[in-house]
């Protein structure tokens, strides 16, 4: 073989190796090449799907991140939650919701996403779990009050809307996120001549506990200063008042807002809860 041809082969091999290595490094630690990663458009957003090589969708874990709308974070959530929980039998669907939606629109979009997964992949609500962190936890709770799911995980999410609005005003960084929702909600109430208190209650998980039928896991750090842990405690009290028993609250000493659900004790608690939900399905 001539030297030029040999150099070309070596060069092409290096390029292919680099491309494969780059793809591998994009996946979270522990995710093998068997991961099937895809996305589907839904309105102005997307549903990101992470699963194994099988085309069978038996159970769904639908994850919702908090903070601002972010395609990157949505993709990371999909891959990381599948990496750590896919072995339980879940296909993971991550909601990449559009930017600049009102709170009402975001809730509706999550509900629409759940219904899309049910219809497209023939997964009934009894085999679907919703999981959200921070505002994503709020959205998971509100969506579970509007559509049938087997279980819902709320990690450090607000549960009383008026309370979080009042609290957020004290912190410019927090208000930069919640101020938009407050402004658009007040405009909606004024334009439609609605009662502010009733609307706030209708959009607060703690006032909708009677509509949440699935199992619930509430997770919160006791050092959370962004969404105080009292939101989770008040949600538990609301469940107690209506006699709901299929819920559990896990509080974590020393944890602040945004702690990972995929390592340490929170991960153990999450796996145990989700495994129990799947066992009930049979």
Pairing state between β 45-51 and 90-96 = antiparallel
Q: What are the two backbone dihedrals, phi and then psi, of residue 38, each rounded to the nearest 5 degrees? A: -150, 175
- CATH number, domain 34-281, options 3.40.50.150, 2.60.120.10, 3.40.50.1820, 3.20.20.140: 3.40.50.1820
Domain ranges of the chain: 1-30, 34-281
Letter string b/e over residues 238-259, b meaning 16 or more CB atoms within 10 A of that residue's CB: bbeeeebeebebbebeebebeb
Alpha-carbon gap, residue 248 to 71, rounded angstroms = 31
Alpha-carbon gap, residue 157 to 173, rounded angstroms = 17
Digits of tens for pLDDT over the chain (282 positions)?
555 554 455 455 444 434 433 443 344 444 444 567 899 999 999 999 998 765 567 899 999 999 999 999 999 999 999 999 999 999 999 999 999 999 999 999 999 999 999 999 999 999 999 999 999 999 999 999 999 999 999 999 999 999 999 999 999 999 998 999 999 999 999 999 999 999 999 999 999 999 999 999 999 999 999 999 999 999 999 999 999 999 999 999 999 999 999 999 999 999 999 999 998 875
Alpha-carbon gap, residue 110 to 101, rounded angstroms = 12
Average pLDDT score over the chain: 89
């Amino acid at each position: 073989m001539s030297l030029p041809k040999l150099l070309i082969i070596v060069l092409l091999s290096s390029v292919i190796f680099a491309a494969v290595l780059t793809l591998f490094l994009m996946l979270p630690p522990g995710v093998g090449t068997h991961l099937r990663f895809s996305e589907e458009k839904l309105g102005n957003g997307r549903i990101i799907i992470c699963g194994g090589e099988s085309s069978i969708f038996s159970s769904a874990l639908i994850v919702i991140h908090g903070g601002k709308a972010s395609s990157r974070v949505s993709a990371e959530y999909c891959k990381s939650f599948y990496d750590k929980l896919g072995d339980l039998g879940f296909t993971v669907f991550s909601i990449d919701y559009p930017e600049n939606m009102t709170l009402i629109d975001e809730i509706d979009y999550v509900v629409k996403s759940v219904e899309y997964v049910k219809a497209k992949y023939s997964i009934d609500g009894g085999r679907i779990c919703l999981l959200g962190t921070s505002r994503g936890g709020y959205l998971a709770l509100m969506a579970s009050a509007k559509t049938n799911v087997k279980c819902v995980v709320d990690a450090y999410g607000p549960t009383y809307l008026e309370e979080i609005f009042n609290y957020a005003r004290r912190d410019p960084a927090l208000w930069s996120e919640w101020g938009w929702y407050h402004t658009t909600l007040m405009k909606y109430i004024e334009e439609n001549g609605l009662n502010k208190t009733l609307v706030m209650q209708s959009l607060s998980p703690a006032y909708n506990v009677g509509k949440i039928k699935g199992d619930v896991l509430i997770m919160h750090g006791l050092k959370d200063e962004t969404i105080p842990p009292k939101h989770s405690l008040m949600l538990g009290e609301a469940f107690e008042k209506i006699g709901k028993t299929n819920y559990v609250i896990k509080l974590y000493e020393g944890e602040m807002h945004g702690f990972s659900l995929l390592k340490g004790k929170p991960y153990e608690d999450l796996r145990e809860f989700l495994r129990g939900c799947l066992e009930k399905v049979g």
